[in-house]
Amino acid sequence: MIETLLTEQEKVFVEETWNKLDKKLSKTAVKSREKLPYTSQGGVHDNWTDKDVLWWTNGFWGGLMWLMYIGTKKDCYKKTANRSEILLDAAFQNMQDWHHDVGFMWHILSGVNYRLTGDMDSKNRNLIAAMSLSSRYNVDGNYIRCWNNWGDGDDHTGWSIIDCMMNVPILYWASRELGDARFKRIAMRHADMTLRDHVRADGSVNHIVVHETEKEGVVQVRKGQGYAENSCWSRGASWALYGFTLSYIHTGEKRYLDTAVKVANYFIAETEKTAWLPRLDFRQPPEPVRYDSTAGAIAACGLIELAKNTSGEERLRYLSAAVNLLKAMEKAWCNWSEEEDSILQMGSESYEKGVHMPIIYGDYFFTEAILKLKGEEFLPW
């Protein structure tokens, strides 16, 4: 059990932080029950229910509620999680515009509901999402296409992004649930491509890779949400860290564990330079100083799972790094006021826009990491 490796001081930090989460979120769960929030404005959660029900982050609020229910068994969280799932049903009215982020939208919401309660409607929602993701697999180029075309002049047909490593777990689940290996095979082929084309030798990552569409091959690397093509967007590194750890957990293939370790070592080395507060891009200019708290929260989750799957000094190093990230961010960036709906501040959408704002998946992954440190073994992914 990972929590037994914590010091007494660290255990106190985990328990106190969990109590703060419960105290605040038990109220926000009721206040924001009719919303699918992305950020907060003037301290109040916004609502993407009508704004864009297909927005890729719309599963995180309900997913956060399931995390809190798992840790407390309080009905207020279960009610809001169930309501979030119903609100997201509007997405089924426009399936032609779905994208690769269906794992973010349904696997941590409907998938968790089904695994906890056996709800068959939730199972079906998650299976439809898994089938949608598998249909985006390009059999010639050997990648899962990330986005549809947006009408901005870019043809996204050949694009894959590092974020998809966090969506492929829904495919591993579908293979187990249906007894059908094809979903897992698609996930592994995409993971193998990502290992080759997105992850660099030093553990840094490319965000966007443009592929040949009728054969394997890279046409171009694009900077995406980071600073430049050859830089390293910190959230992209955290997606890779956690995503490859999850692929190892679901497959047992050591190459995925080795890749997660490589990215983790790079992430830790870069974050130690700034007192465990992650910069937005690890190769950004010294000024202006830009951070991304969401990268730290995601990485903390990945590092805890990585610690569970390594041993000796390596295990202790990854666990210690996760705790250091969480403690630094809790002290510097968490807002525990009940007048502010969001918790983790200083998230950033990209290097060029949405810098230093609360983002719902920051709260989600921060909470998931604290729940893991409490000893919860349920894996939402």
pLDDT at 97 over 90: yes
Cβ(196)–Cβ(205) under 8 Å? Answer: no
pLDDT of the residue at 153: 87
Query: What percent of the chain has pLDDT above 90?
Result: 98
pLDDT at 151 over 90: no
Q: What is the pLDDT of residues 36-66, one digit of tens each?
A: 999 999 999 999 999 999 999 999 999 999 9
Cβ(367)–Cβ(65) under 8 Å? Answer: no
| Cα separation, 331 vs 265, whole angstroms | 24
pLDDT of the residue at 209: 98
H or E, element range at 28: helix 8-31
The domains found in the chain, sorted by start residue, are 2-373 (1.50.10.10)
pTM for the structure as a whole: 0.98
User: Can you tell me whether residue 138 is helix, strand or coil?
Assistant: strand
pLDDT at 1 over 90: no
Q: Average pLDDT for residues 105-131, to the nearest whole number?
A: 98
Strand partners, 159: 210
Q: What is the pLDDT of residues 221-269, one digit of tens each?
A: 999 999 999 999 999 999 999 999 999 999 999 999 999 999 999 999 9
DSSP output for 139-186 = TTTTEE------SSS---TTEEEGGGGGTTHHHHHHHHHHT-THHHHH
Closest of 125, 138, 202, 190 to residue 164, by C-alpha:
190
| Mean pLDDT, rounded, of the chain | 98
Q: Average pLDDT for residues 121-147, to the nearest whole number?
A: 98
Q: What is the pLDDT of residues 175-216, one digit of tens each?
A: 999 999 999 999 999 999 999 999 999 999 999 999 999 999
User: In the chain, where do the E strands start and end?
Assistant: 40-41, 44-45, 137-138, 143-144, 159-161, 208-211, 218-222
pLDDT at 323 over 90: yes
| Cα separation, 327 vs 353, whole angstroms | 27
Q: Which amino acid, 11? A: K
Count the residues in the chain: 381
Q: Average pLDDT for residues 100-110, to the nearest whole number?
A: 98
Half-sphere exposure of residue 165, counting CA atoms within 13 Å on the CB side?
34
pLDDT at 379 over 90: yes
Q: What is the pLDDT of residues 265-318, one digit of tens each?
A: 999 999 999 999 999 999 999 999 999 999 999 999 999 999 999 999 999 999
